[in-house]
Chain A
Amino acid sequence: MESRATRIVLGIWVALVLVFLFGPIAIIAVYAFNASNVQTWPIPGFSLRWFASAWANREIRSSLLLSLEAGVIATAIAVLLGTAAAFAVHRFRFVGREAVSFIVVLPIALPGIITGMALNSFFVFWGLGLSFWTIVIGHATFCIVVVYNNVIARLRRMPHSLSEASMDLGADSWRTFRLVTMPMISTSLIGGAILAFALSFDEVIVTTFTAGAQNTLPLWIFGAIRLGQRLPEVNVVVLVVTAITFIPVIVAYRYMDQSTDRSR
């Protein structure tokens, strides 16, 4: 058992880490309510005016919509392909199986700038104009990884005897998949999908290379900060996005937590 002194030191240490991680976000949150458009500390007054102004901004609204659409579609693609890949790697022994499982995970290890550049030159090479769909494809590359990892982890933990028991009781492969495998992996699938969406929603680097004239929300924020324009609205947007992303991340965390409980 640790002594009282170590407990206090550890407590302070944890507090410092938390401040380090979340302090900047807290400061942005405070600035979002700043009455002035000049960022000074402490803020001169409290106001909600930037919320109204951000909401009224058409650029912000269209980029938010674009981010949501791209995120949803990229996630849908990732769920389909990631699950299929996980099943293939888990169920079948084939030549290049290890290579496939490595390649699928590669995009998350690869620096975003390389993925972005590669995709960009690929699209340009084939004369595909950068568009909404090139953004979706770019996002899908790393969203697949998240879904794949989640699903294959669950499949590996799932006792093999479950599908054997199902077949033993007279269910064919399709019935077994529908009634046993799918319910068993559903929570990992939902968790993976939510994380994939969260990744897509705040992606900047790959998007920079795959977006044409469109701006996703992170790109708009990035641009606004670089040009030093509309900083108060940026604070508002960041605060709202943070608040919104917290919800799915917590939900996803819950699902994954539950999944580890279940396998015990």
Chain B
Amino acid sequence: MNAMSPPAPTLATKTASGGEILLRLSGVRKAYRGAVAVESVDLEIRRGEFFTMLGPSGSGKTTTLRLIAGFEQPDAGTIELDGVDMARTAPFDRNVNTVFQDYALFPHMSVAENVAYGLKAKRVAAAECRDRVAEALRMVQLADFAGRLPAQLSGGQRQRVGLARAIVNRPGLLLLDEPLGALDLKLRQDMQLELKHIQEQVGITFLYVTHDQEEALSMSDRIAIFNRGEIEQIGTPEEVYERPTTPFVANFVGSSSIVKRRGRRFMLRPEKVQVLPVGERAAFGFHGEEGRLEDRVYLGMFTKYVVRLGDGTKIVAVQPNAEGATGQLEKQRGEPVLVVWNPETAWPV
């Protein structure tokens, strides 16, 4: 599945413009009873950016988000929002709002009351409050659901309410804690696009937490990859996918085969490897090696090949099942095949 989703070039090229810094984390550290959750995090997020913190569970990304929201306080370090350190400020005094993974809608309040909650706490006048709630509900396409209770909504609708409830306050920074984690795949993909559109529409800086690399690649301006409480790499989707700086990033973002040649380790993305019948000529400048086909998995759009080279290296290749494409290679398990790649796409790690 990883290999099926190379980064969308349109988004990847839209690198974050070097805008002013909205949020700056310096040397942030947090431990729970001796167990370090966040070791030392430095991070700068620009105004208007869609920034994603990506990592496996327990990597510290959610703790970092909770520190920014104010639900936890760091043991060390500063969290500057608009140049002011917020590390000790209570959550209700911070100009940030959160969209929760479990929605956290107030079950005894209607959709409209949920969305109005933040405005009422800030004593926004009733008329303005009404207008802004209606506008926010329109934005998430729930205008007709204002009177419902959360229990009467589907999961996707609940998460839209959670989103409306946060953006209606027009926060400087919106925190999203795996907001699509509880939704099924199709709904997730629709919501990913919608979230991205809403972010462009309202112009609020989004700080998004996910463990789904595909989600991170398709939505973000920039991504920070977390591992064991530290950031391994920060970059655009294209940068972290094409030019990972650590083996962890190479494996976590997308999948890759690791090849050792002349004492150096290279990463090979599966979509950049071709599998050909033995005896066929590789294109000029391409590197070819013979191996044995270990597995061939038909995946609909793609076919995945697993090839074992003579020195034991395992190479994974993915080829589109396009009309007349090489994806139709009719080799059986155990048969010898030729794997070919452009040495320029082999990225040293």
The answer to whether B98 has its CB under 8 Å from any CB of chain A is yes
Q: Are B98 and A170 in contact (CB under 8 A)?
A: no
The answer to whether A172 has its CB under 8 Å from any CB of chain B is yes
- Residues of A contacting B153 with CB < 8 Å? none
Of the candidates B102, B104, B121, the one whose C-beta lies within 8 Å of that of A171 is: B121
Q: Are A161 and B97 in contact (CB under 8 A)?
A: no
Q: Are A162 and B104 in contact (CB under 8 A)?
A: yes
- Residues of B contacting A180 with CB < 8 Å? 106
Q: Are B169 and A169 in contact (CB under 8 A)?
A: yes
- Residues of B contacting A171 with CB < 8 Å? 92, 117, 121
Interface size class of chain A, counting residues whose CB lies under 8 Å from the partner chain? 10 to 19
Q: Are B92 and A164 in contact (CB under 8 A)?
A: no
Contact string against B for A residues 156-188, beta-carbon threshold 8 Å, 1 for contact and 0 otherwise: 000101101111111110010001100110000
Q: Are A168 and B107 in contact (CB under 8 A)?
A: no
Q: Are B107 and A184 in contact (CB under 8 A)?
A: yes
Minimum C-beta distance from A92 to chain B (A): 16
Do most interface residues of chain A lie in helix, strand or loop, or is the interface mixed? Answer: helix
Q: Are B104 and A170 in contact (CB under 8 A)?
A: no
Q: Are B100 and A161 in contact (CB under 8 A)?
A: yes
Contact string against A for B residues 141-179, beta-carbon threshold 8 Å, 1 for contact and 0 otherwise: 000000000010000000000000110010000000000
- Residues of B contacting A162 with CB < 8 Å? 104, 106
Q: Are B104 and A167 in contact (CB under 8 A)?
A: no
Q: Are A159 and B104 in contact (CB under 8 A)?
A: yes
> A214–B225 Cα gap in the complex (Å)?
74
The answer to whether B69 has its CB under 8 Å from any CB of chain A is yes
Q: Which residue of A lies closest to B106 (CB)?
A: A180
> A183–B102 Cα gap in the complex (Å)?
19
Of the candidates B91, B102, B106, B151, the one whose C-beta lies within 8 Å of that of A168 is: B91
The answer to whether B27 has its CB under 8 Å from any CB of chain A is no
Of the candidates B92, B100, B107, B166, the one whose C-beta lies within 8 Å of that of A167 is: B92
Q: Which residue of B lies closest to A186 (CB)?
A: B108
Of the candidates A165, A172, A183, the one whose C-beta lies within 8 Å of that of B104 is: A165
The answer to whether A226 has its CB under 8 Å from any CB of chain B is no
- Residues of A contacting B182 with CB < 8 Å? none
Minimum C-beta distance from B131 to chain A (A): 18
A168 with B108, Cβ < 8 A, contacts A159-B102, A161-B102, A175-B121 known: no
Besides A167-B91, A168-B91, 5 other A-B contacts (C-beta < 8 A): A164-B100, A165-B105, A169-B92, A169-B165, A175-B121
